[in-house]
Amino acid sequence: MKTLTTDALLDAVKQWVEIESPTQDAAAVNRVADLAESQLRAIGAAIERVPGTDGFADILIGRIPGETNGEGILLLGHMDTVHPVGTMAGPLPWRVEDDRVYGPGIYDMKGGNVMALQALTHLHDTGRRPKLPVTVMFIPDEEMGSPSSRARIEAEARRHRLALVVEPSGDGGRITVARHGIARYYLKTTGVPAHAGAYHWKGRSAIREMAHQVTAVEAMTDYDRYITLNVGTISGGTHENLVPIECRACVYAMVGTVESEAEVREKLMALTPVDPDVRLEVTPGLFRPPYAKSPEIQALYDHACALAREIGFEIPGERIAGGGSDGNFTGALGLPTLDGLGVVGDGPHTHHEHLLKSCLVPRTTLLARLFETLD
């Protein structure tokens, strides 16, 4: 793409969005990987495709030489979405309404992936190269916490000088300079079954016990310290006339610091049942560590803002993001990480997910200039 235009970029985004790719559908995510691989090969990238594990799709890696050798830029994006196949034909069809363009995964984060690829393609087609080598890494399972990808992301991070993440921007275009940590915990209560009519008094309800635990868990939320605990899913019981023997719940915890995470973990692991005849189990799940803004991240942010002004627009500010990304892993390792470099829009994971087409040219140009100038 020698000339970056809104129409050409929007066509490229549509090509990605039309391949619906929920995380659990490995074949669908691999179809996105096929498209991305062909686009990376077209600009001379050396391709490495890591076969999927644990039922997930492949990790796609494209390595693009720079003007200099050595440690380079790790560019992170994910190919999976939360929307099931059929969303485009149902509640979220592709459509353009004034500046808004709707589609499943268009904001989180296929639009950003396309901008990164087109920025690199623009440099290639105009006879230019990134100053540093660029490793493009597309992840298949980010929406589920990157369980099959984290180790490879961290291994790549240790071989690079900095990371750029094209997750969507926030709050109208702010760039992400830090992220809170995200942890999952699984609660299980096991009670004593009994006929709910004839022998109700003999039973010990797992659901009633879980209700006590839900109240206790959510009471740990402390907004002033950026600690939130949300019981997002719960299930239990087998029949309305049986005192339920089992109940399960998932806790989604957001923590602002490593110290907060340790505190929350200690409290959750110390939970005890209100009813001594009911057994309570707490199992830690996936965890994305938090990372804070460093002087190196500040320098990256300031550089991006200066480039944006040269291009002719203003970055509206920085933000600390509550949602997780693969940038949590690189940032927590101490690798300078600038996140939220993707599209401007809103509605991630919803049926009004959209990007603003007016952002495509300026923010793709910004990515191209970052590749050209970061050294």
Instruction: Fill in the amino acid letter for 125.
Output: D
What is the pLDDT, as a whole number, of residue 317? Answer: 97
- Residues 80-103, mean pLDDT to the nearest whole number: 98
Final residue belonging to a domain, choices 288, 309, 332: 288
- Residues 222-232, mean pLDDT to the nearest whole number: 95
- Residues 288-300, mean pLDDT to the nearest whole number: 96
What is the pLDDT, as a whole number, of residue 184? Answer: 94
Place of tokens 């623009």: 122
Kindly report the pTM of this predicted structure.
0.91
Instruction: Fill in the amino acid letter for 52.
Output: G
Kindly state whether residues 210 and 170 are assigned to the same domain. Answer: no
- Residues 281-297, mean pLDDT to the nearest whole number: 95
Structure tokens at 8: 């050409």
The CATH number for 189's domain is 3.30.70.360
- Residues 241-247, mean pLDDT to the nearest whole number: 98
Into how many domains does the chain fold?
2
Whole-number percent of the chain with pLDDT over 70: 100
Distance of CA 318 to the CA centre of its chain: 18
pLDDT tens-place string over residues 59-81: 999 999 999 998 999 999 999 99
- Note whether residue 87 is domain-resident: yes
Kindly state whether residues 347 and 284 are assigned to the same domain. Answer: no
Kindly state whether residues 222 and 122 are assigned to the same domain. Answer: no
Please give the DSSP secondary-structure letter assigned to residue 68.
S
- Note whether residue 132 is domain-resident: yes
Task: Report whether pLDDT(1) > 90.
Answer: no
Kindly state whether residues 73 and 147 are assigned to the same domain. Answer: yes
Regarding beta strands 162-165 and 73-78, do their DSSP bridges make them parallel or antiparallel, or are they unpaired?
parallel
pLDDT tens-place string over residues 175-221: 999 999 999 999 999 999 999 999 999 999 999 999 999 999 999 99
pLDDT tens-place string over residues 321-342: 988 899 999 999 999 999 999 9
Q: Is the peptide bond before 269 cis (omega within 30 degrees of 0)?
A: no
Sheet holding 354-356, edge to edge: 95-97, 100-102, 354-356, 345-346
Final residue belonging to a domain, choices 288, 313, 332: 288
Domain that holds residue 203: 181-288
Q: Give residue 49's pLDDT band: very low, low, confident or very high (50, 70, 90).
A: very high
Kindly state whether residues 164 and 203 are assigned to the same domain. Answer: no
Four-CA torsion 237, 239, 240, 246, nearest 10 degrees: -20
- Note whether residue 1 is domain-resident: no
Kindly state whether residues 245 and 275 are assigned to the same domain. Answer: yes
Give alpha helix (H) positions in the chain.
Answer: 6-17, 26-41, 111-125, 150-157, 206-218, 258-269, 295-311, 327-332, 360-373
Q: 119 and 142 in contact (C-beta within 8 Å)?
A: no
Which contiguous run of DSSP H or E holds residue 252? strand 246-255
